[in-house]
């Protein structure tokens, strides 16, 4: 992957001036390249990584396995695209293994997610079955550990 993207994936707030120094190019070039990535849809947006466990918010996330009967034309794509449009669905992936689609769904509470699964998801043509797992605790999210560990300090000056 392009070094510029690596830097932004690690810290999207890094300034074009600093990135320019790291990559030994001009800040204008960095701005142009970022704009180009945005225009081409390589960069789809920027979000904060929030540790929701420390916030007192009423929200649940469920991971839902969905078995799908693929259609003769379009395979899984048609069903997946219909499911994607529900705002409750945060992420959706086609996966190999015992089931076909993996969803991350958020709701106000357990009841709301259960309602979504039974009334919206299970009733879609082609959906054969679902299994819902509620998330209890987040240890690591987007490559970031949620629980900060005590930093072990190195010597301030060493040979």
Partner 1 sequence: MNTNASKSVRDVIAGHLDAVPRSGIRDFFEIVSTMQDVISLGIGEPDFDTPWHIREASIFALERGVTSYTSNFGLLKLRRAIAAYVDRMFGLRYSPEHEVLVTVGVSEALDIAIRAICNPGDEIMYHEPCYVSYGPLIQFAHGVPVAVPTSIENEFRLTRDALEAHVTPKTKALILNYPNNPTGAALTQADAQAIAEFVIDHDLLLITDEIYAELSYDHEHISAASFPNMRERTIFLHGFSKAWAMTGFRVGYACAPPELTDAMMKIHQYTMLCAPILSQEAALEALDEPENDIAGMKSEYQKRRNYLLRSFQEMGLSCFEPRGAFYAFPSVRETGLSSKDFALRLLEEEKVACVPGTAFGPSGEGFVRCSYATAFDALKEAIKRTAAFLKRL
Q: Which residues bind partner 1 (CB under 8 A)?
A: 3, 6-7, 18, 20-24, 154-159
Residue 12 or 63 having the CB closest to partner 1: 12
Q: How far is the CB of 1 from partner 1 (least distance, A)?
A: 11
Q: How far is the CB of 26 from partner 1 (least distance, A)?
A: 10
Q: How far is the CB of 136 from partner 1 (least distance, A)?
A: 24
Residue 2 or 38 having the CB closest to partner 1: 2
Q: How far is the CB of 90 from partner 1 (least distance, A)?
A: 28
CA 37 – CA 44 distance, rounded (Å) = 9
CA 118 – CA 125 distance, rounded (Å) = 13
CA 107 – CA 14 distance, rounded (Å) = 32
Q: Which two tokens stand for residue 2?
A: 């392009």
Which residues partner with 132 through β-bridges?
A: 64
The SS3 of residue 72 is coil
Residue 19 or 79 having the CB closest to partner 1: 19
Residue 20 or 43 having the CB closest to partner 1: 20
Q: Which two tokens stand for residue 153?
A: 């300090």
């Amino acid at each position: 992957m392009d070094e510029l993207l690596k830097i932004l994936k690690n810290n999207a707030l890094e300034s074009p001036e600093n990135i320019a120094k790291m990559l030994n190019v001009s800040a204008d070039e960095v701005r142009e390249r970022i704009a180009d990535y945005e225009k081409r849809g390589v960069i789809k947006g920027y979000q904060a990584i929030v540790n929701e466990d420390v916030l007192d918010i009423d929200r649940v996330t469920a991971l839902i396995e969905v078995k799908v009967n693929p259609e003769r034309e379009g395979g899984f794509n048609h069903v997946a695209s219909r499911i994607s449009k529900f705002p409750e669905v945060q992420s959706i992936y086609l996966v190999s293994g015992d089931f076909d689609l993996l969803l991350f769904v958020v709701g106000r509470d357990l009841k709301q997610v259960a309602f979504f699964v039974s009334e919206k998801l299970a009733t879609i043509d082609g959906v054969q079955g679902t299994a819902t797992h509620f998330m209890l605790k987040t240890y690591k999210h987007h490559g970031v550990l949620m629980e900060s560990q005590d930093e072990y300090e190195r010597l301030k000056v060493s040979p």
